[in-house]
Amino acid sequence: MPYELTGRLVVGIASSALFDLAESDRVFREDGEEAYRAYQERNLDVTFAPGTAFPFVKRLLSLNDLGESHDPLVEVIVLSRNDPDTGLRVMRSIRAHKLPITRAIFKQGRAPYEYIPALNMSLFLSANEGDVREAVAAGLPAGRVLGPVRPDDEDDPDLRIAFDFDGVLASDASEQVYQREGIEKFRDHEVAHADVPHDAGPLKEFLAGVNRIQRREEEERRKNPGYRLRVHVSIVTARNSPAEERAVRSLKRWGVRVNDAFFLGGIDKGTIMAVLRPHIFFDDQQVHLDSTARTTPSVHIPIGQINEVPPPGS
């Protein structure tokens, strides 16, 4: 029987998001591909240190203890630009860190994002900006990791995930109104359309998958009152009243939910992240990520007009 991915929360991860590859990247840039291959061969048994997304991935995979060992709730698959030879160090490092990741695709020097739909992935994380932009342009749920490699607190079993709203969970259609016409017209537009749900954005299905795991946690707590819920989801958005109502109603109409909502109205998101301490935060605007990435593993979703790259010399 084939291994079925439907119904699981499937995340794709590039080695550049999972591990700290700063030294490997330096060798590749400065000395070229052959030197890079020789470097990885010499260091085959040297385990890569954790990267920005490592604590998030580790905690996500730990939720498989809610299911049967042969039927995990979460599947993480490596999608890599390495070839199979240089990818060996990645897989050995995964085993050394005791991460239950056994599936991988290695595409020698080529972007692997085209396999996202075939593998039922609702999220792909990479540090390669070009790969992420191409994936998002193709309508795929991809993000570029930014920010610190934060030490993993082994005494804290929780998984805290935070999302911006517009351009992440929802489309950027309302953001475009704000960019064209300003804050007052944006608020008027949102009030006039409060009963009209937003079109879903790139990570709505990822949130739906996280919600499935949260429902499984709630089932576990009903059976075992001592069970402590581990997954906590927040939205942290620049929206404020009266524009919050359409966002809340949209979540409900989509059949998804969050535990907490921060409607900040322009307050620096970085100050909130320092207290909230999510293991990962998703936003579509670099201006917010410049602040959050100082303390928080962050992910840039380069969607829409605000993320269009200007032509050289403009």
Smallest CA-to-CA distance from 210 within 12, 59, 57, 60 is with 60
Maximum Cα–Cα distance across the chain: 63
- Residues 20, 140, single domain; the answer is yes
Residue 21: pLDDT over 80: yes
The pLDDT value recorded for residue 3 is: 87
The pLDDT value recorded for residue 196 is: 92
Of 13 and 83, the structure prediction assigns the larger pLDDT to 13
In a domain, 4, yes or no: no
Helices (H), the chain: 15-18, 22-31, 33-42, 54-62, 84-96, 129-137, 173-181, 183-192, 204-223, 244-254, 269-276, 286-292
- Residues 170, 253, single domain; the answer is yes
Q: Is 164 tagged catalytic?
A: yes
- Report the pLDDT averaged over residues 255-270: 96
**Using CA atoms in the order 59, 65, 71, 74, what is the torsion angle rounded to 10 degrees?**
-10
- Report the pLDDT averaged over residues 176-197: 87
- Residues 73, 211, single domain; the answer is no
- Residues 193, 94, single domain; the answer is no
pLDDT tier for residue 311 given thresholds of 50, 70 and 90: very low
Q: Residue 255, Cβ neighbours under 10 Å: how many?
A: 9
Share the mean pLDDT of the chain. Answer: 92
Partners of 80 in the beta sheet? Answer: 106
pLDDT tier for residue 140 given thresholds of 50, 70 and 90: very high
- Residues 77, 213, single domain; the answer is no
pLDDT tier for residue 310 given thresholds of 50, 70 and 90: low
Residue bearing tokens 């203890």: 65
Considering only 45-54, 126-135, 246-255, 302-311, which range has the smallest mean pLDDT? 302-311
In CATH, what number is assigned to the domain containing residue 222? 3.40.50.1000
| Structural domain count of the chain | 2
d(C-alpha 124, C-alpha 295), whole Å:
22
In a domain, 1, yes or no: no
- Residues 111, 15, single domain; the answer is yes
pTM of the model: 0.94
In a domain, 153, yes or no: no
Q: How far is CA 57 from CA 51, 100, 112, 139, in A?
A: 10, 10, 19, 23
Q: SS3 of 294, please?
A: coil
For residue 72, give its domain range: 9-146
Of 180 and 250, the structure prediction assigns the larger pLDDT to 250
**Using CA atoms in the order 221, 155, 124, 28, what is the torsion angle rounded to 10 degrees?**
-170
> Counting runs of H as helices and runs of E as strands, what totals does the chain give?
12, 10
**H or E stretch at 131:** helix 129-137
**H or E stretch at 90:** helix 84-96
- Residues 239, 105, single domain; the answer is no
CA end-to-end span of the chain: 55
- Report the pLDDT averaged over residues 304-310: 76
- Residue 25 tokens read as 């990247």
In a domain, 152, yes or no: no
Question: Any idea what DSSP says for residue 76?
Answer: E
Residue 38: pLDDT over 80: yes
**Using CA atoms in the order 9, 166, 236, 210, what is the torsion angle rounded to 10 degrees?**
-10
User: What's the pLDDT tens digit per position in 65-85?
Assistant: 998 878 899 999 999 988 888
Phi, psi of 266 (to 5 degrees): 100, -5
Domain finish residue from 114, 146, 178: 146
Active-site pick, 164, 166, 283, 284:
164
User: What's the pLDDT tens digit per position in 155-169?
Assistant: 788 999 999 999 999
Of 67 and 209, the structure prediction assigns the larger pLDDT to 209
